[in-house]
Amino acid sequence: MDELFVVCRTFEIDDGQVSGFVLMRAEENGEPRPWPILISRKANQFFGFENACPHQGSRLDTRAGEFLDEEGNFITCGKHHAQFDLDTGHCFIGPCQGQRLTPIALVIDDGDVCLTGVRLAEEDGLDIPDPEEVPEVMITPD
């Protein structure tokens, strides 16, 4: 089984809502790059997509971080107003009609929404080759 990477808890995304996240994905050469994704929820099912409109590759969210149309029924591109199904990512209105958002594999594990089948960059935040080589830091009261 592929490794699971927890993105969020299931209760953090309401039914009929979409949330955006930016992860760090490892390129083939190992270099990390930002990877914006979307997770939508329809009843008790979760769907993941790359946050990139198939029309020109731009992010779907508006400056306010919104992803849904005014009625809250469809994922909408903030730039060209293409509309996509929450569950299939299929575009049915707009300049990329007939195309789809790029899906990502999700697994629900004990209340966590997890990614699988991707290689994320391992970030320790300190660029330390081996974190075990760093001496422990002792915190003492004043």
Q: Is residue 139 part of a domain?
A: no
| Domain CATH code at residue 75 | 2.102.10.10
pTM: 0.79
CA 46/CA 6 separation, integer angstroms: 13
* Residue 58 within any structural domain of the chain: yes
- Residue 76: name the closest of 125, 12, 103, 92 by CA: 92
Quick: pLDDT tens for 13-32: 999 899 999 999 888 887 88
Domain that residue 24 falls in = 5-123
Q: What is the pLDDT of residues 99-134, one digit of tens each?
A: 999 999 999 999 999 998 888 886 544 444 444 444
In a domain, residue 134? The reply is no
- In whole numbers, what is the pLDDT of the chain averaged over residues? 82
